[in-house]
Chain A
Amino acid sequence: MNIGGRRVAPSLSARLLGLLSWILLSLVFPGGGFLPGGPVLGAQVRDSLPSPKGYVSDFAGVIPGDTARQIEQIARAVADRTDAEIALVTVKSFGDLGFATVGDLGIALADAWGVGGAGSDRGVILILAVQERQIRLEVGYGLEGILPDGRAGAIIDQVLVPAFQRGRYGEGFLDATRVLAGIIGQETGVDLSDAGASTARPPERAPAPASGGNEAGQILVLVLVFFLFGGGRFIFWPLVFGRFRRGFYGGGFGSQYRGYQHRSSFHGSSFGGGFRGGGGFGGFGGGGFGGGGASRGF
């Protein structure tokens, strides 16, 4: 027994010693595979992204100072009184930053900055690439319900594009901020009109008329008549948008997406990277984005 024990024990303990040092080594040099989930982007791309300067990050320098301050005020009121955050970004060129489309830049900024509340994901980022003449409205998970892609496109088409085509970037951004604040305020039941939120009905896509141009012409005449008599705002808009909204939120288009608006814990843990720090600006809340929104050239 003793002899056997002596024979076995050294080789066994030697093996165990080997295994132990192996484990220790692997603990000391864990390698890349052990790191928990981090950013989606490669570190290089993420590092080259600028930090936010505030709610307005005018890197291209196209928004007049007083307009930027007005926008900041509205965005701050939205952030303080609701849990939603609006970020505005202008860049000279997304190509120079290493992105193929304005949408790629959008999701990269969204992941890096984490606009919107960390749990609620109610953030929206408006991006202008001056050189490429491209606009992107990036919508966080929590706002996809009130800002579906179609509506995001409508806001760009009706508010931003007309102003941007005349080179009036500040004006377009200010109007868009008012509209977004109006939509967020209306939905959360917070009156933001004193802070500059738009009280008008936000842009929507009306349902297409059943037949062609003739009917459209008649509607145009009706609109003109209503506006001539000053009642257009109150009589015409509910006629058009009332019907649309019912269809949109009730039965038709919007509701079938409700099921997709859930948010798995996966995004929160791995990808809802929050931004902290930055000179003078406290940073955004850490909301998650999934690529919703709309892009346009102008």
Chain B
Amino acid sequence: MNAMTEQTKKILIILVVILVVSGWMISQRNRLIAADETVSAAWSEVDNQLQRRSDLIPNLVATVQGVAGHEREVFSDIAQARARLAGASTVSETAEHYQELQGALSRLLVVVENYPQLQSNQSFIRLQDELAGTENRIAVARNRYNEAVRRFNTQIRTFPASMLAPRFGLGQRDYFEISESARTVPQVNFQQN
């Protein structure tokens, strides 16, 4: 009898422990998945804003082409970079082609400086504002994405989640990294008089 009670006690303890452990693991899993989803949501906002900028480009190019149609090189650079960005599938690919497009667009803005008539063109100024605003939105979305990635990566690399994350199939997420030169947002600085 004594032995039986002892054994029952042990079984009970083991059951309680299993219950606590599995409950704890489920809550860990939910936390990690929520953080992972936050990263995904932040990425979709980056993607959104990149798409928004890509949609803006045909209008911008058409306006500039009206007065500077012979500057073919810069237009084809933009078209190519835009197509490559659209085809990017990973975060690092996107970051790379994002910078290419950024570079092509800043070359376009340099070209534009040789055409004073463009700088007083109201619809061009409006497009420039939209472009600068979208660049800024991309920067904001990128910061928020990187912050979400930092949070998530810290979480899954910190004990005890570091032991569980691989079992849940969760790995580190990539940062949207850009070089320092591409960090500057094109500035619009037209003086109206």
B38 touches A270 (CB 8 A): yes
Contact of A148 (CB < 8 Å), options: B123, B130, B136, B190: B130
A205 touches B122 (CB 8 A): yes
**Does more than half of chain A's interface fall in helix, strand or loop, or is it mixed?**
helix
Which interface residue of A153, A212, A256, A298 has the most chain B CB atoms within 10 A? A153
B44 touches A149 (CB 8 A): no
Contact partners of A207 in chain B: CB under 8 A: 122-123
B130 touches A208 (CB 8 A): no
Contact partners of A265 in chain B: CB under 8 A: 41
A292 touches B122 (CB 8 A): no
Whether A293 touches B133, Cβ cut-off 8 Å, given contacts A19-B21, A37-B151, A157-B190, is: yes
Number of B positions contacting A (CB below 8 A): 64
A294 contacts B by Cβ under 8 Å: yes
Interface string of A230-263 (1 = CB under 8 A from B): 0000000000000000000000010011001000
A294 touches B188 (CB 8 A): yes
Contact partners of B48 in chain A: CB under 8 A: 260
B173 contacts A by Cβ under 8 Å: no
A32 contacts B by Cβ under 8 Å: yes
- Residues of B that sit less than 8 Å from A by CB: 3, 7, 10, 13-14, 17, 20-21, 24, 31, 35, 38, 41-42, 44-45, 48-49, 51-52, 55, 59, 63, 117, 121-130, 132-134, 136-141, 143-144, 147-148, 151, 154-161, 185, 187-193
Known interface pairs A20-B20, A266-B42; 12 further A-B residue pairs with C-beta atoms within 8 A, sorted by A's residue number: A5-B7, A19-B21, A34-B158, A148-B130, A158-B192, A205-B126, A253-B130, A257-B52, A295-B136, A295-B187, A296-B190, A297-B191
A-B contact pairs, 11 of them (CB 8 A): A33-B161, A40-B144, A40-B147, A103-B139, A149-B129, A207-B123, A266-B42, A266-B45, A291-B140, A292-B136, A295-B132
